[in-house]
Structure 1
């Protein structure tokens, strides 16, 4: 029972990463999938298929790069290679490690290009996410404008965003402020 539940949680996490991967590509971004997730099976292929194999040197050699490589999904501008958006999928796990990875990105040399950082989680976790972000340890998060992106909004809007969306506006429109 526990193994099946863990496998289902992994599959859901991977499916959400795949959705974000596909959205990023349809919106014209290069996409990075976390180094530890890229070989996960998805839809007869691998999650990392068609995505960047390496981060651009400016990102990959910066302080905190090891943590940034583990962010679930990154969207990068094709023209500049700069990270535009970061997504951490928090299906059932603690949000701490995802927040710390995004902090490494947000406080690093590539932060000026960031247009959005998103915690992507089931609809029912918003209260829990807000409570965790209210802790003193995460007081800087409010300055960084991390948003909550519920699965339900992503699922309900992904086809329209992929078809008609442009840039970060569609994602920002369905995400919620956390503070």
Structure 2
């Protein structure tokens, strides 16, 4: 039986490339995207069969819970989770409206927290699995015009390190990539 991989933000960009690689390596892939049509198109382009696509805005707790309940019922336990969903709207802090700040923080940081929590429910029974969060070098170095984005990615780094320590004894690996 192939291992199940959930790729948040799997319809394009880094997430799309990761979904393709996982499918090529024999995983059953669940593509999550805010846009159902994009998720379906990305899923249909994957080699092999029996993949799944779901519409899910990772910044919304109810949608994440519903999506992972569907995944558990239809596909079984999650072996791999990749958090590649993210948004960036470059803007100087003085020109960034609060609703855009909240949107970036909710998608880039809270979204990964929510999906990790949802996926861990199945990864811990039986123990084992891997989570990869996609961060950014900007979270380490900063960049003019990206203070909010940088803050969200810095937070993701701290979250990933702490979560790795929380679940290491249960044979779940948690890592952060900084493209």
Q: TM-score, normalised by structure 2?
A: 0.49
Please state which structure has a larger fraction of its residues in helix: 2
Q: TM-score, normalised by structure 1?
A: 0.49
